[in-house]
Structure 1
């Protein structure tokens, strides 16, 4: 019997890396609202307190871990603690990212290495330690967050965009290798979404403009004439985590307001 969408994740457990802000937080909250047990992993020191706040009304079941998701010991322990607390794992969502600015000449080696550590290694570690638990449950869903900049770039995003392209390929390998275990893997490629990261990007490209003016400029080439909301990406993540997307694996799902479909020449 199919569950109503409001409780479709009842009895399931999700592990959301980058879950303390932006798309990760919106997705973790929606999954919890629909019945999932959720672990949020964030670099912010307030992640456990945020989890407690989300769970305060007794309707959501959320725990939080504060640490560096590019460090193997931390990820391994956070997954072990999540499994011990909730009894298993069914959904992995990897959305942790940093967004440094700079071209290949300006980007120093330390920035390059750190961007790959946060944006890519965290996904590898989450899946390396998490996928065996999905296999134990007979399958599950892995959702990674890439970007439209995996294929089409603005200037001065060398390290960030390169990692986003790598995420797409990494997700393909997950889909191919883990399908026999009943695990699906898909990636979301958002356009400009209003998040703390987007605000950081806007401030870095302000050139004397306000954040709102930068947002207006980013929205101008978008056919829908606006930026996206984190809650809209969360709805896509929930679809990919659910049986409703049962025949979807190894795919990129773009949510960009039509940006990549549009050729603006005037």
Structure 2
């Protein structure tokens, strides 16, 4: 272990499960003090009890300014500062077959959590960082915010907004030594896909979607939450001190292009004849 985050104080929103929980554990292993922020108090408090005195849980609804302000104040009061803000909390909304069938009933809540939550977390963390030597802000977007596609359109719009907001914030906050970057996960097995499809478990529609993702992915093995957490460690550490305003896809190559290329098969057939 390199202890790349030694003595840094980090907040991870959505930290009680999935990508957030993996980031909490990786940050702790690298020497950070970590505040777990989530609306799931049972899981958050269980993690706090399991992981020991270098982490603490704070109930937080990231769509509410007062909750985010209380969260930052709590981190500063508990651990003495704030160096890394990982705005990771997110929800998917419900999948609809196509645009014409979508009633956008989930629009307001998805935008509040996925976009406004990131904006509030960035702003309020930056206000502290500005007066205390800077810091690193990491925002979770999605490859769905980078590439157009069907279904979960509110989610795609919110995640695209995260990218543009983060690049703008990176420019705005650079003079204060505050870096702002995005991580764009893709094809990472977490509960967010099951919640979008309505599957109680990894079955049915969820499993079919995962098979399609695997076929469209150049790297033929599954990523997991630790891959995103490793990216977050890099962006939170001093190794990335000259990196700001980027979108880092962690997706097995999905955004690079589709490997199912009929031209390859056509050329092979032509050469064989």
**Match among 27, 35, 38 for residue 39 of structure 1:** 35
Q: Does 1:249 align with 2:244?
A: yes
The 3-state SS of whatever aligns with 2:113 is: helix
Q: What is the match of residue 74 of structure 1?
A: 67
The 3-state SS of whatever aligns with 1:9 is: coil
Structure 1: stretches of 5+ with no match in the other structure: none
Q: Does 1:25 align with 2:18?
A: no
Instruction: Give CA-to-partner distance per residue, 1:209-240, whole Å, 9 cap, x none.
Output: 37444422321111112331010111011001
Offset, 1:110: 4.0
Offset, 1:82: 1.4
TM-score after normalising by structure 2? 0.87
Offset, 1:203: 5.0
Q: What is the match of residue 268 of structure 2?
A: none
Q: Does 1:151 align with 2:146?
A: yes
Contact 1:141 1:241 in 2 (8 A): yes
Contact 1:29 1:54 in 2 (8 A): no
Q: What is the match of residue 121 of structure 1?
A: 116
Distance 1:261 1:226 in 2: 16
Contact 1:192 1:198 in 2 (8 A): no
Offset, 1:109: 4.6
Q: What is the match of residue 198 of structure 1?
A: 193
Q: What is the match of residue 84 of structure 1?
A: 77
Which of the pair has more CA radius of gyration? 2
Instruction: Give CA-to-partner distance per residue, 1:93-150, whole Å, 9 cap, x none.
Output: 0111111123444443541111100001111111222112112220110101111111
**Match among 232, 241, 247 for residue 237 of structure 1:** 232
Offset, 1:199: 3.3
Offset, 1:200: 3.0
Distance 2:44 2:225 in 1: 21
Structure 2: stretches of 5+ with no match in the other structure: 263-273
The 3-state SS of whatever aligns with 2:2 is: helix
Q: What is the match of residue 167 of structure 2?
A: 172
Offset, 1:37: 0.6
The 3-state SS of whatever aligns with 1:120 is: helix
Distance 1:177 1:223 in 2: 36
CA RMSD of aligned residues (A): 2.2
Matched residue pairs, number?
258
Contact 2:83 2:135 in 1 (8 A): yes
TM-score after normalising by structure 1? 0.89
